[in-house]
Chains A and B, each alone.
Chain A
Amino acid sequence: KAGVTQTPRYLIKTRGQQVTLSCSPISGHRSVSWYQQTPGQGLQFLFEYFSETQRNKGNFPGRFSGRQFSNSRSEMNVSTLELGDSALYLCASSSGAAVSRYTEAFFGQGTRLTVV
Chain B
Amino acid sequence: DQQVKQNSPSLSVQEGRISILNCDYTNSMFDYFLWYKKYPAEGPTFLISISSIKDKNEDGRFTVFLNKSAKHLSLHIVPSQPGDSAVYFCAIMEGGSEKLVFGKGTKLTVNP
Contact A102 B100 (CB under 8 A): no
Which single residue of chain A is at the shortest CB-CB distance from B6?
A: A42
Contact A102 B49 (CB under 8 A): yes
Contact A102 B51 (CB under 8 A): yes
CB 8 Å contact bits of A16-44 with B (1 = contact, 0 = none): 00000000000000010101000000111
Contact B98 A107 (CB under 8 A): no
List residues of chain B with CB within 8 A of the CB of A35: 100, 102
**In the complex, A33 Cα to B45 Cα: how many Å?**
15
Question: Total contacts A to B, CB within 8 angstroms?
Answer: 73
CB 8 Å contact bits of A92-113 with B (1 = contact, 0 = none): 1010100001111111111010
Stretch in B36-44, B60-68, B69-77 with 4+ CB within 8 Å of A:
B36-44
User: With contacts A90-B44, A107-B43, A110-B41 known, is A43 near B98, CB below 8 A?
Assistant: no
Size of the B side of the interface (Cβ < 8 Å), in residues, is 24
User: With contacts A102-B49, A102-B51 known, is A110 near B43, CB below 8 A?
Assistant: yes
List residues of chain B with CB within 8 A of the CB of A103: 93, 98
Contact A105 B43 (CB under 8 A): no
**In the complex, A92 Cα to B91 Cα: how many Å?**
14
List residues of chain A with CB within 8 A of the CB of B100: 33, 35, 43, 45, 92, 105
Contact B34 A104 (CB under 8 A): yes
Contact A106 B101 (CB under 8 A): no
User: Is A4 part of the contact surface with B, judged by Cβ < 8 Å?
Assistant: yes
User: With contacts A33-B98, A55-B98, A96-B98 known, is A107 near B45, CB below 8 A?
Assistant: yes
**In the complex, A55 Cα to B31 Cα: how many Å?**
20
Taking each of A42, A92, A112, which has the highest tally of chain B beta carbons within 10 Å of its own beta carbon? A42
Contact B98 A110 (CB under 8 A): no
Contact B41 A112 (CB under 8 A): yes
Contact A45 B101 (CB under 8 A): yes
Contact B32 A102 (CB under 8 A): yes
Taking each of B44, B51, B98, B104, which has the highest tally of chain A beta carbons within 10 Å of its own beta carbon? B98
> Could you say which of B43, B94, B99, B104 contacts A4, with CB atoms under 8 Å apart?
B43
Taking each of A33, A56, A102, which has the highest tally of chain B beta carbons within 10 Å of its own beta carbon? A102
